[in-house]
């Protein structure tokens, strides 16, 4: 049984009949180069191209270096996440301050990339001392015991996860780049307050945008409504399970459309004014104010709670995709929250005031062009996000199965 426990669930084919993994301390597997570390205060750093590492990763870029080669950096103190303890592989010239230990695998017995992943799979918390600023003492770290295979298998595992990390980084960069691109277009394709045309337009559209009241963009019968307050949705009215749900801020506006609260059919019918339908828009009216989502097809029958505001639009005046991105634009977010850029969004402008806003609006044809453009960008963002999440999930599964 002990021998079986020293073999991972998943191994590369050529190592399926190899020896069981063996127990080794970090001191047997790696040398420590903490003596070369040099901390520099921000005011004394000379700007350069060398990454300056602390406990949680790169803090700055400086001139010069303290270490050159392959190393593993392990937070000594000041770790920002004790459950997912900061451990990283570096290669090349780096500058390391006194808040990260510096290890280098002994080439005859251990591989740096493997050792980094093995350490990341280790629960470091029991080895920490101190209170608010937990510390991993060097002597304690070097006594941590790991199970490792022969060097050839270590290198195979290390290279495998290096390729996987490269793919994750690639998709993260694509995601960040597309999000930044969308943010830039949101700033340029909608007019600033007091202006009649945006900085950037599609070819063929030259007319000034029209002045309209916000209420004109909404459905004449039930254009804007905030969720019911008070006794209408007290928790003692919720039932364990039913076909009728209550949508909350944390699931609706983040496009999850899940729920933890249910109501009876009778209560659902009583609250018919607060029922969500496909194509409606739902916006946060508390907490992270101003975040908005479009209600998709196929959601469960449900009502929205008091933290949310629903919009029903007039399709003869405004395009659905355009409306969504227009509300997300920087100018509209500032107007809705009544806050300055960068401040906490905590004060929502009263809806009675919102209805009377005078806003600039392009023709329906130009709206559709803008809306379709942003819908396509949003689809690309969603695609990158899903690929990234899938790769992260695959990596997590492999880490659990390929280490003992």
Domain count along the chain: 3
The backbone region for 251, taken as left when phi is positive above 0, alpha when psi lies in -120 to 50, beta otherwise, is alpha
CATH number at 223 reads 3.90.220.20
Distance, C-alpha 380 to centroid of its chain: 16
- Domain for residue 381, yes or no? yes
The per-residue pLDDT for 324 is: 92
- Domain for residue 201, yes or no? yes
Residues 194 and 220 in one domain: no
CA 289 – CA 292 distance, rounded (Å) = 9
The residue from 148, 166, 191 where one domain ends is 148
Point out which residues pair with 310 in neighbouring strands.
225, 282
Among candidate residues 231, 222, 248, the one with its CA nearest the CA of residue 303: 248
Q: What is the phi/psi pair of residue 366, to 5°?
A: -70, -35
pLDDT in tens, the chain (404 residues): 445 568 899 999 999 989 999 999 999 999 999 999 999 999 999 999 999 999 999 999 999 999 999 999 999 999 999 989 999 999 999 999 999 999 999 999 999 999 999 999 999 999 999 877 899 999 999 999 999 999 999 999 999 999 999 999 999 999 999 999 999 998 899 887 777 889 999 999 999 899 999 999 999 888 888 888 666 677 778 899 899 988 887 766 666 777 788 899 999 999 999 999 999 998 888 777 778 889 888 888 989 888 888 999 999 999 999 999 998 888 888 888 775 444 444 567 788 888 898 888 999 999 999 999 999 999 999 999 999 999 999 999 999 999 98
The per-residue pLDDT for 344 is: 46
Residues 221 and 260 in one domain: yes
Residues 27 and 163 in one domain: no
- Domain for residue 390, yes or no? yes
The residue from 148, 166, 199 where one domain ends is 148
Flag whether the pTM goes above 0.85: no
The per-residue pLDDT for 342 is: 45
- Domain for residue 1, yes or no? no
CA 130 – CA 147 distance, rounded (Å) = 27
Residues 241 and 264 in one domain: yes
Residues 111 and 220 in one domain: no
Residues 232 and 130 in one domain: no
Q: Is 237 helix (H, G, I), strand (E, B) or coil?
A: helix
Residues 200 and 215 in one domain: no
- Domain for residue 280, yes or no? yes
- Domain for residue 160, yes or no? yes
CA 319 – CA 372 distance, rounded (Å) = 9
The per-residue pLDDT for 2 is: 47
- In terms of DSSP H, where are the helices of 198-355? 249-252, 265-270, 320-328, 330-337, 351-355
- Domain for residue 7, yes or no? no
Among candidate residues 336, 329, 253, the one with its CA nearest the CA of residue 295: 253
- Domain for residue 5, yes or no? no
Residues 214 and 355 in one domain: yes
Q: 112-120 and 151-188 helices cross at what angle (nearest 10)?
A: 70
Residues 41 and 170 in one domain: no
Q: Is 339 helix (H, G, I), strand (E, B) or coil?
A: coil
Residues 126 and 258 in one domain: no
Domain hosting 218: range is 210-361
The per-residue pLDDT for 359 is: 87
The residue from 148, 169, 190 where one domain ends is 148
Among candidate residues 239, 275, 286, the one with its CA nearest the CA of residue 260: 239
Q: Token pair for residue 359?
A: 């806003």
Residues 350 and 221 in one domain: yes
Q: Token pair for residue 400?
A: 């659990």
The per-residue pLDDT for 1 is: 42
Residues 334 and 374 in one domain: no
CA 162 – CA 158 distance, rounded (Å) = 6
Among candidate residues 265, 351, 366, 338, the one with its CA nearest the CA of residue 308: 351
């Amino acid at each position: 049984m002990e021998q079986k426990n020293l073999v991972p669930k998943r191994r590369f084919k050529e190592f399926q009949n190899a020896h069981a993994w063996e127990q080794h301390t970090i001191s047997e597997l790696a040398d420590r180069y903490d003596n070369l570390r040099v901390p520099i205060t921000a005011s004394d750093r000379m700007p350069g191209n060398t990454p300056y590492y602390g406990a949680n990763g790169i803090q700055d870029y400086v001139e010069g270096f303290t270490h050159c080669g392959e190393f593993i950096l392990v937070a000594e103190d000041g770790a920002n996440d004790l459950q997912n303890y900061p451990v990283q592989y570096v290669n090349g010239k780096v500058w390391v301050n006194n808040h990260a230990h510096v290890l280098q695998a002994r080439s005859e017995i251990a591989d740096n990339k493997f050792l980094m992943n093995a350490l990341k799979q280790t629960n470091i918390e029991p080895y920490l001392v101190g209170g608010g600023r937990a510390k991993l003492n060097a002597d304690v770290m070097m006594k941590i015991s790991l199970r490792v295979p022969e060097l050839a298998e270590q290198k195979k595992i290390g290279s495998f996860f290096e390729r996987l990390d490269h793919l994750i980084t690639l998709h993260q960069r694509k995601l960040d780049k597309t999000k930044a691109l969308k943010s830039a277009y949101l700033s340029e394709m909608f007019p600033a307050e007091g202006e009649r045309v945006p900085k950037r337009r599609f070819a063929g559209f030259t007319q000034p945008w029209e002045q309209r009241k916000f209420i004109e963009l909404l459905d004449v019968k039930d254009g804007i409504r905030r969720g019911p307050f008070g006794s209408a949705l007290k928790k003692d009215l919720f039932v364990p399970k039913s076909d009728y749900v209550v949508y909350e801020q944390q699931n609706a506006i983040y496009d999850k459309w899940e729920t933890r609260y249910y109501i009876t059919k009778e209560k659902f019918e009583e609250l018919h004014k607060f029922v969500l339908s496909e194509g409606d828009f739902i916006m946060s009216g508390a907490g992270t104010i101003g975040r908005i989502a479009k209600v998709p097809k196929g959601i469960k029958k449900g009502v929205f709670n008091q933290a949310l505001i629903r919009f029903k639009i007039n399709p003869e005046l405004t395009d659905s995709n355009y409306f969504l991105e227009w509300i997300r634009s920087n100018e509209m977010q500032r107007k809705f929250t009544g806050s300055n850029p960068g401040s906490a969004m905590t004060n929502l402008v009263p809806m009675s005031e919102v209805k009377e806003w005078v806003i600039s609006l392009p023709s329906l044809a130009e709206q559709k062009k803008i809306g379709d453009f942003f819908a396509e960008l949003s689809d690309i963002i969603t695609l990158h996000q899903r690929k990234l999440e899938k790769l992260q999930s695959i990596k997590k599964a492999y880490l659990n199965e390929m280490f003992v």
